[in-house]
């Protein structure tokens, strides 16, 4: 029995040693395509998550990241550059980047992990959440923008007019517009839609804000959210609510939000990427959904003289 046990221990030790050596000999190339700077913390969460699974930047892993894209043309150019370098996997952040990553890689065999994407089915990235098929999977957002609109009404019951800036040709942004338009009348809210195409359009809108606005509702729109500083400053000066779908932007100056934590979503995507790099076909990895939280920035709330009940404050993920 002792001899058998000893042989078993030696066999297991040898097997672990061989696996470790095999992993140490591997070198991975991971492309990253990101639209605007709003998901910088999401990208950091992805890289940190990959590191926790043994993908060490500069050691056994090379990240093909060439900065953020700020137009659809830039997305295409960066993706072409990444694909030419034959990565083992591409991480795509936001709907526009993910859609173009899918379109450009579906015949290459390069796996793609996306996150966040508002609605990957409506965006034309996948056909089925449980079995995405082809070469792509990732992390989607829950359809919770109507709930975020509801939180504005709960926080400020007398709110009436909500300004909604959105990028006309951004699929994710238009999904937000559609969702909240369907529920706004039932809440007694008037949605003032303002289409934009560039940062300059956003700046002009901020300079010429309509009167009697009670809140600005930022959609899941990379371009609009990239102007968080300008929106925060304007809303603070006018003492109106600024609502964002992500935690990082509430820290940066939005009044409140209901949605995801970018850093945690990035780590969630990293776990899926690790599974794919270890051999699981991406089309067999079900799309996951990011968790939603209520966010409130108490500093801003106090600065705009907004009174929020303790019952609501107790439900917030983190009050700053």
pLDDT digits (tens, 9 = 90+) for 153-184: 999 999 999 999 999 999 999 999 999 999 99
| pLDDT score for 238 | 96
The C-alpha atoms of residue 215 and residue 300 are separated, in whole angstroms, by 13
* Cross-strand pairs, 90: 31, 112
Mean pLDDT across 33-56: 97
Q: Which residue has the higher pLDDT, 14 or 27?
A: 27
245 within 8 A of 290, measured Cβ to Cβ = no
Total-model pTM: 0.84
- CA–CA distances in Å: residue 19 to residues 13, 49, 149: 10, 21, 51
Looking at residue 318, its pLDDT comes to 59
Radius of gyration of the chain (CA): 22
Give, in words, the CATH class of 145-260+294-313.
Answer: alpha beta
Taking only the tens place, the pLDDT of each residue in 1-16 is 333 333 333 343 444 4
Instruction: Evaluate whether 26-142+262-291 and 145-260+294-313 have a shared fold.
Output: yes
Domain boundaries, given as residue ranges, for the chain: 26-142+262-291, 145-260+294-313
CA angle 93/175/316 to nearest 5° reads 75
State the average pLDDT for the chain. 91
Task: Report the SS3 class of residue 229.
Answer: helix
Give the Cβ contact number of residue 245 at 10 Å.
26
CATH 3.40.50.2300 fits 26-142+262-291, yes or no: yes
Supply 181's token pair.
């338009």
- Report cis status (omega within 30 of 0) of the bond before 116: yes
What would the pLDDT profile of 219-262 be if each residue is shown by its tens digit? 999 999 999 999 999 999 999 999 999 999 999 999 999 999 99
């Amino acid at each position: 029995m002792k001899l058998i046990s000893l042989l078993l221990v030696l066999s297991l030790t040898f097997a672990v040693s061989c696996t470790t050596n095999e992993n140490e000999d591997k070198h991975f190339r991971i492309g990253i395509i990101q639209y605007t700077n709003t998901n910088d913390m999401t990208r950091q969460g992805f890289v940190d998550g990959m590191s926790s699974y043994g993908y060490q930047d500069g050691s056994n892993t090379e990240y093909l990241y060439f900065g953020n894209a700020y137009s659809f043309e830039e997305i295409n150019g960066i993706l072409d550059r990444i694909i030419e370098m034959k990565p083992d996997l591409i991480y795509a952040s936001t709907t526009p980047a993910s859609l173009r990553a899918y379109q450009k890689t579906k015949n290459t065999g390069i796996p793609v992990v996306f996150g966040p994407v508002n609605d990957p089915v409506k965006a034309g990235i996948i056909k089925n959440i449980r079995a995405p098929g082809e070469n792509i999977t990732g992390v989607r957002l829950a359809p919770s923008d109507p709930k975020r609109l509801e939180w504005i009404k709960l926080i400020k019951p007398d709110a009436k007019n909500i300004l909604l800036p959105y990028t006309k040709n951004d699929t994710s942004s238009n999904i937000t517009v559609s969702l909240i338009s369907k529920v706004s009348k039932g809440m007694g809210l008037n949605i003032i839609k303002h289409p934009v195409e560039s940062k300059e359009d956003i700046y002009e809108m901020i300079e010429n804000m309509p009167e009697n606005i009670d809140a600005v509702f930022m959609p899941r729109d990379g371009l609009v959210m990239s102007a968080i500083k300008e929106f925060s400053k304007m809303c603070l000066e006018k003492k109106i609510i600024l609502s964002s779908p992500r935690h990082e932007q509430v820290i940066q100056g939005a009044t409140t939000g209901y949605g995801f934590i970018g850093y945690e979503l990035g780590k969630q995507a990293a776990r899926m990427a690790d599974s794919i790099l270890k051999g699981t076909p991406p089309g067999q990895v079900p799309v996951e959904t990011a968790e939603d939280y209520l966010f409130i920035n108490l500093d801003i709330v106090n600065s705009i003289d907004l009174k929020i009940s303790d019952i609501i404050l107790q439900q917030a993920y983190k009050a700053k």
